[in-house]
Structures are given as C-alpha cells and as structure tokens.
Amino acid sequence: MNTLMLARWQFGITTVYHFFFVPLTIGLSALIAIMQTRWLRTRDERLLRLVKFFGKLFLINFALGVATGIVQEFQFGMDWSAYSRFVGDIFGAPLAIEGLLAFFLESTFLGLWIFGWGRLPERVHLACIWLVSIGTMLSAYFILAANAWMQHPVGYRIDHTTNRAVLTDFFAVLTNSTAVIAFFHTLTAAALYGGVLLVGVSAWHLARDRFTDVLRPALRLGLWASLAATAGLLVTGDIDGKIMTSQQPMKMAAAEALYTTSKPASFSLFTIGSLDGGKEVFSVRVPGVLSFLATGSFSGKVDGINDVQALEASQYGPGSYKPVIPVTYWSFRLMIGTGLLAGLIALVGLWWTRRGRLPERRWFWRVCTWSIALPILASSFGWIFTEMGRQPWAVYGVLTTREGVSLVSPGEVLTSLIVLTALYGVLAVVEVGLMLKYAKAGPPEIEPPAQAGDAEPRLSFAY
C-alpha cells in the first residue's frame, strides 16, 4: 500500500462521512427556522414542541458535523501538501473566508440559540436560528466554490517559475458556473435531507397513533419540502449535467460507461456484465436519454470514453485519463435512483395525507421511516461520482491526484486512516443510538413559564 492510495481512501472516507451530517445541518436549520417563525406568528404550541423536538435532533447531528469538519481543513495540508502548495493561492481563500464568514456565524449564533431560550427576546432568539441557517448556506457556497475550481479551474494562470497556480480573478472563482449550480444542487439536496427526516420521524409515531396532532403538520411540511427538493434536484442536476459534459466530457462518458461516441446515446437503467467496453450480458436501455442529459437534445452527440481518452492523451501527454468506470457508472444511477425514490415517496405521501387524511397503511409509514436513508445514499453516491469521475485529476486538466499527495510515509497515513475510520465508526453508532432515542421519545411537553415568584429562572437549555 502506498501513500497515495491510503490518502485517497482517507479522503474518501472522511469526506463522505462528514457529508452525512452537513446537508442535514443545512436543511434542518432552515426548516426549524421556518417552524419557529410560524410559532411566533401563530403561538400554536404544537409548533414550539416541534421546534424543540427537531432542534434536539438537529444538535445531535450538528455536533458530528462540526467535529468531523476540522479534519477536512487539516487533511489538505497533512495528506495533500503538494496539492496545497500548488493551489494554495486560489484554494485557500474560499476556505479562510468560509471560516470567517460562515463558521463564526453558525457556531456563535447556535450557542445563542441553544442557551438563549427564555433569556433573549423572542425575536432576537428567532433571528439566531435564521443566522445559523444563513451561516450553513454561506459555508456551503464557499466550500463548493473551492471544489468547483477543482472540477473546472477558472480565474488563474500557471506560474512556470514556481510551478504553482496563481489567482488572477477571484470573482471568476466565486461565480464559476460549476460552483453556482453545485450550490443550488447541494441546497436542494439539503432540503431533501431535512424534509425526509421530518417525514420519517413523524411517520414512525403516526404509525403508532402517537403525537398525531403535533406531528401531522411536521409530516406535511416534510413532504412538501421533499417534493420541492426533488423537483429542484432534477432541475439543478440536469443543468449541472450539461455544464459537466461541456467541462469534463470524460465524466459524462464514464457515467454511462459509453466507450464509443454516439448520436443519439441511450441511457441504461442497469447493466449486467463488465463495464470495460466489452460485450454486455444484459442491459435495460432508454433511447436518447443520455443525449438529453448531456446536451438537452434527445438526438445530441455524446463523446465516448475512447475518444475523450485519445483527445486528452494528445493534450496532456500519454497516460490513462479514465476514471474507475464501474464506480462512476453505478454511483451515477444510484444517485439519481435513490433521489427519485425519495421524491416519489413524498408525492404518494402528499396524496394520501391530503385534506386531513391519514392512511391506515402501516407499511407506508415504515417505508417513510426507512426513506431517511435515501438522501444520505443519494448525496454520498453523488459525491463519489463527481470526485471519482474527475480522476486521475485533482484539478481537472491541471494537476493529477498523484502529483498532489504529501511526501509522508505510508505508515503515518495508515495510522491516521485506521484511527479516524475506527473513531468515525464508533461515533456513528453513538450518534444513531442517540438519534433513535430522541426521535422515539417524541416531541417534549412544554414546561409552563416560570412563576413570578422565582427569583432566578433556571437554565432552560443546559448541557
């Protein structure tokens, strides 16, 4: 095992794991802010109970997002120091700005929100959760701008004396088409995370006839959020696919394992057999769909892996420019499939719960609860696709992953890989245990306001 392989595994594991928590932080903070706003408007106590209930789940999730986020910033320097030297002039700025603009905002106002119940004026307290929500979105924007620069580098030149990339236009980096579309794609994914969590947790209780009056509104809000999110994901994903095809043709070809350039190109729902360009055993194909995904026309031309390989070899020198095709092929359709399934469940759920109805179908509630896993799967597959699909490049067309790795010993990276993976595994078990405990406990009762005789109101939200 060499340093490169180990560093890649560590990056993959820590990043996918970190991203289990991030979209829920983004999605749920916004949904909680919406519920708390509605509570202040209507004074409907059920909404307050929902805010407290989902607030608790939010915080259990948030803790791991924060804790694993530090690793993300550190490991660029630890494992990818050659990369960091090469891109630091461009890549460091969004990271630093993310800290200054977003992390301070999130962490400070979350502290105020948790501990500020009954201490801050209600409107100020509400503003805190909105600021947390804005902070999470800002954070997403800057980190996606950094990632987008790896997908589609803009606003830079290469300084050949130092052999480093140098920033020439920061505005171009921030308004990179890849960054903008990835931002909206991520936000809609986050909305799906939040929506599905509301649905799944509410469904668990509704199946048992518990807290029906409190959780029905949460279920409906979650279903609407999920449906809107899925629609948003389809639109943003579609735009993203076309941008990706023009910027990284290899990635779209690899998404379909399309070896020869085709016009029109079909989309296979699944394939049995190897994906190495040899004869497939069996596949289910929808004609013209890949053409549509890539170009917007059902008869458009899609470049195949072999042609892109030949083109890139002539541009960048001899070598293989193909990612691991089975990974890109399957992650691409699993991303779409799991995401669509979540949307379908939301659609059915909305229909069956229309105008005050509650279905008697226990199995449907069970499906809803299990659907909490769908957006987690979808976004994991999405990131695996977009990062693995860019290989062998770290920065597309500019720097390969191999060139970016640190000159540290395999033993060091292996230690770190084992330690972090084991720690993350244990924390996942603890986290899921707590989420289940608090989700199953249901919305808490609201304590009556402090009596006038109490000199000192107790801390309502204390660790």
Partner 1 sequence: MSLNDLYLSLKDLWFVLIAVLWCGYFLLEGFDFGVGILLPVLGRGDTERRVLINTVGPVWDGNEVWLLVAGGATFAAFPMWYATLFSGFYLPLLLILVALIIRAVAFEYRGKRPQAAWRRGWDWCITAGSAVPALLWGVAFGNIVRGVPIDAHEHYTGGFFALLNPYALLGGLTTLTVFTLHGAVFLALKTTGDIRERARRTAARLGPVAIVVAGSFLLWTEIHHGKAAAAGLAVVAALGLVGTLVATLRGREGLAFAGTGAAIVATTVALFTTLYPNVMPSTTSAAYSLTVHNASSSHYTLQIMSVVAVIFTPLVLLYQGWTYWVFRKRIGVSDIPVETPGTVGTAA
Q: How far apart are CA 186 and CA 192, in angstroms?
A: 10
CA distance 290 to 12: 27
| Binds partner 1 by CB under 8 A, chosen from 81, 261, 306, 353 | 81
Helix (H) or strand (E) holding 458: none
Of 106 and 240, which has the nearer Cβ to partner 1?
106
Sign of CA dihedral 242, 247, 249, 252: negative
132-191 residues in contact with partner 1 (CB under 8 A) are: 164, 166-168, 170
Q: What is the DSSP string of 126-182?
A: HHHHHHHHHHHHHHHHHHHHHHHHHHS--SEEEETTTTEEEES-HHHHHT-HHHHHH
* Among positions 44, 89, 238, 403, the unique one binding partner 1 when judged by CB under 8 A: 89
Minimum distance from residue 426 beta carbon to partner 1 (Å): 10
Task: Summarize the chain as % helix, strand, coil (round to 5).
Answer: 70, 5, 25
Residue among 84 and 353 whose Cβ is closer to partner 1: 84
Tell me which of 28, 48, 114, 199 binds partner 1, using CB under 8 A: 114
Stretch in the footprint of partner 1 (CB under 8 A) among 183-191, 214-222, 311-319, 431-439: 431-439
Choose, by CB under 8 A, the member of 1, 2, 42, 99 that binds partner 1.
99
Rounded least distance, CB 152 to partner 1, Å = 19
Residues in region 377-406 near partner 1 by CB under 8 A:
406
Q: Is 436 in the site for partner 1 (CB under 8 A)?
A: no
Among 1, 42, 45, 77, binds partner 1 (CB under 8 A): 77
Rule CB under 8 A: choose which of 55, 249, 323, 389 binds partner 1: 55
Tell whether residue 442 is a contact of partner 1 (CB under 8 A): no
For partner 1, give the closer residue by CB, 109 or 330.
Answer: 109
Nearest-angstrom CA–CA distance, 463 and 461: 7
Please tell me whether residue 425 binds partner 1 under the rule CB under 8 A: no
Shortest distance, CB of residue 175 to partner 1, whole angstroms?
Answer: 14
Q: Of 268-327, which residues contact partner 1 (CB under 8 A)?
A: none
Q: Are the CB atoms for 26 and 187 separated by under 8 Å?
A: yes
Q: Which of 74, 298, 351, 370: binder of partner 1 (CB under 8 A)?
A: 74
CA–CA separation, 300 and 267 (whole Å): 13
Alpha-carbon torsion, ordered 275, 279, 283, 288, to 10 deg: 90
Residue 414 lies near partner 1 (rule: CB under 8 A)? no
In sequence order, which ranges of 281-324 are alpha helices (DSSP H)? 289-295, 305-316
Judged by CB under 8 A, does residue 26 bind partner 1?
no
Any contact of residue 444 with partner 1 (CB under 8 A)? yes
Which CB, 360 or 445, lies closer to partner 1?
445
Q: Which of 1, 96, 373, 450 binds partner 1 (CB under 8 A)?
A: 96
Q: Crossing angle of helices 373-388/325-352, nearest 10°? A: 150
> Among residues 38 and 164, whose Cβ is nearest to partner 1?
164
Q: How far is CA 255 from CA 198, 244, 265, 334, 391, in A?
A: 32, 11, 12, 11, 13
Instruction: Look up tokens 């402090």; give the residue.
Output: 450
Stretch that binds partner 1, among 188-196, 247-255, 379-387, 441-449 (CB under 8 A): 441-449
Q: How many residues sit in the footprint of partner 1 (CB under 8 A)?
A: 81
